[in-house]
Amino acid sequence: MITLGILTRNRPEELQTCIVSSLDTAAEPDDLLIVLLFGDDMVGYKTHPHHPQIRRFLSTPRMFYYSDLRLLYQHMHEVGDLDLFVIANDDCEFMVGGWDKIAEEQLYENFDDGMGVVSFWQHPFHTFMSRAKLFDEQYDGILAPEDYVFYFGDSERHADLVERNQWVQSDIPLVKHPMDAVHSDPTRYPFCWFERDKHVYDGRMAQKRYVKGLENRLNDPFTP
């Protein structure tokens, strides 16, 4: 069974398209479990139609997008045994028939033991598939403490997976996204940040450089 986790907030039409397209194009839709995390969206949480394959959770007050990603992953664990999972935005539309099997094949084609992450869109935190075991045992950012803001697409943790050859970008785009035109232009990337996210991220990186500088001075007594 593949678990599809979707982050959503105040976009009921886009969310419905994402859910319907994922079920319509899946090779084995009956084996798909969908977990929704409504970020500061009580109306959506309460009014979303009940479905036997869908579980709903509420995150409020709304946290940073990447903290919501951590919460979504934890909730995916709560609804049943989590092995293979996909995480997507609510405004992604699944386009490829049998995407669930294609995603699984991509995972095992690139990693013999399936212990890796396959990204199906230009930004790795938008649509990707992985093994839960990899995240639980090696990728502790997802299960970090409550006050830790986890930047999945722009962090040293993502870079670490790339260095260990446990992250690949698939050449099979399983979804389309309304921001495709924006993200295809690299000069537009800086404008895709939420200002508060950028502020917190810059603070984290500055703190990391400061701590690294302290470590260097402690390890080298001759450093002024």
Residues 23-55: tens digit of each pLDDT: 999 999 999 999 999 988 899 999 999 999 999
Q: Are 49 and 122 in contact (CB under 8 A)?
A: no
pLDDT in tens, 151-200: 444 455 666 777 888 888 888 888 887 655 544 444 433 334 444 445 55
**Does any domain span residue 215?**
no
DSSP secondary structure string for all residues of 128-163: EEEEHHHHHHT-TTTT--TT----STTSHHHHHHHH
Q: Is residue 88 part of a domain?
A: yes
20 assigned to some structural domain: yes
Say if residues 66 and 87 touch (Cβ distance below 8 Å): no
Phi and psi torsions of 223, nearest 5°:
-75, 125
Q: Does residue 5 contact residue 76 with C-beta atoms inside 8 Å?
A: yes
Structure tokens at 29: 């839709």
Nearest to residue 95, comparing CAs of 25, 5, 6, 23? 25
Answer whether residue 14 is part of any domain.
Answer: yes
pTM of the complete model: 0.76
Asked whether residue 98 is assigned to any structural domain, the reply reads: yes
Domain containing residue 61? 2-178
The answer as to whether 151 is a domain residue is yes
Tokens at 125, concatenated:
């935190």
Q: From CA 6, how far away is CA 53, in angstroms rounded?
A: 13
Q: What is the CATH number of the domain that holds 64?
A: 3.90.550.10
**Among the residues of 42-194, which ranges form H helices?**
42-47, 65-78, 99-110, 132-137, 156-163, 180-183
Average pLDDT, the chain: 76
Extract the tokens encoding 184: 């295809």
Q: How far apart are CA 181 and CA 98, in angstroms?
A: 25
At which residue do the structure tokens 């859910």 appear? 19
Residue that wins the pLDDT comparison between 5 and 210: 5
How many domains does the chain divide into? 1
The answer to whether residue 172 sits within a structural domain is yes
